[in-house]
Amino acid sequence: MRGRTLLILGGAAGALALIGALKMSGDNLHGKKWDYLLPEMKHKALQLLAQAKAAGLDVMFEDGWRSPGREAQYQKQKTSELKDQYNSYHTWGAAVDIVFRSALGQPEWPDASDPRWQELGKIGKALGLEWGGDWHTFKDMAHFQLPSVSVAQLRNTYGTNYLAWLRDNGAIA
């Protein structure tokens, strides 16, 4: 019931209350991976977490913004199919990974056939997010990103200003 009450509040006060409730529930909404998300992505991620929890899914924020260096590490480990670390929606703060919480409160990635992924994907898509579970060549069940925007558009919109801001704030060297 509390989650539904928070969703009804609306406005800045409601958003602050929702962030507070999610932080208290161990959702890791702090640090660079959360703080450097684009405001629209942050808002959508909060909605996704709240609605998934209201639907009975025990989910948590696992990953968001990634430095170009960290993204390059994922490429070397072959956990990312991208060839350029600046072509990641994570690098531009436009993507999050939402995962399930284990019985011990740790992040958990069930098999792609687990029906909870479909339920989570349905909620994210209803919020207007693109879901990695719908991709044809590489299924990324935990991945949600802003839709109808390309990395080229992100570069054009935020480009060197965003990278300079990240550098000035110590996020990248």
Residue 72 is encoded by which pair of tokens? Answer: 């390059």
Distance between CA atoms of 126 and 98, rounded to whole angstroms? 15
Q: Which domains does the chain have, with CATH numbers?
A: 2-168 (3.30.1380.10)
CA distances from 42 to 39, 47, 54, 102 (A): 5, 9, 18, 23
Query: What pLDDT, on a 0 to 100 scale, did the predictor assign at position 16?
Result: 47
Res 106 pLDDT > 50: yes
Tens of pLDDT, residue by residue over 39-82, are: 889 999 999 999 999 999 999 999 999 888 888 787 778 777 67
Distance between CA atoms of 95 and 129, rounded to whole angstroms? 9
- What's the burial of 46, exposed, middle or buried (CB within 10 Å: 0-12/13-18/19+)? buried
pTM (2 d.p.) = 0.76
